[in-house]
Structure 1
Amino acid sequence: MCEEVEVTMDDVTRQGVARVMDVLLPGTEVLPRATAVDAQGELLDRVLRADPKLEPIVRRCGEQAAQTSEISLADVEQWMGEDTERLVFALHAAYYMSKDVRQALNYPGQGRVPVAEATPDQLVSPELIAPVIERGPIYVPTPE
């Protein structure tokens, strides 16, 4: 059984993370802004418990953001350098775990869909089989 990792981020750092999340996920006519769904709270903690290697990255960004008056995406990229993609992944993962966000997208979540109920487009699509067609036939001859 895996040991539960505790996320220990102080309030100031978490507020910095929240500011960055609102820069990355400011909301639209359809989607709420990140802080409106508390993505910087328990949802982010779930992401960080799932992959503890992300916590130092998120923490570093939150600490930097907490000390900065104005934040832009360019600032975040400058602070984080090669860790920008991992930071953005973690923050987006937390956001899209929100029930409100999934409802806004009309995403029903994962569920059982028996193959017998699949439409032809769900079974085969040109994009799905293109690599196989491009590769050409391959087979292993049977021994004689």
Structure 2
Amino acid sequence: MWSKPKNRKMAALLAFASAANPVPISGLHKFYLQQPLWGVLYLLLAWTPIPKVASVIEGIWYLSQDSEEFDLKFNGGVSSEVKPLAEAKGVDPAKVGAIAEAVRQLDQLRADGLISEYEFEQKRRQLLERIA
């Protein structure tokens, strides 16, 4: 149902919203975190204070975890934070920018007919290998 990684701040917000909501709707955060059985249990117990108290505790728990711990538990280890590719690989962004500019210049040379497709591809691969 949810294809994107879960965000711990959104999960905490839904948990607090479930607890603060005067209408007996609890467990929204459980559905968000793909725990529908718990979500249904919270809905069934919505007439008691148990889900509201549990939601507050869980909201605090989600916020107290660091991103890696949350991702390990609720995203299968996949990070919910979006990082630039260069930062994720530990590469200098200035170096990536220079290589991207060199590839653009190569592409222009190819478009102008000054180098062949084969030469373009070989040079492009050499430049991209410098990033990794």
TM interval, shorter chain, is under 0.3
The structure with the largest alpha-carbon Rg is: 2
TM-score, normalised with respect to structure 2: 0.27
Ranked by relative contact order (alpha carbons within 8 Å, sequence separation 6 or more), the top structure is 1
TM-score, normalised with respect to structure 1: 0.25
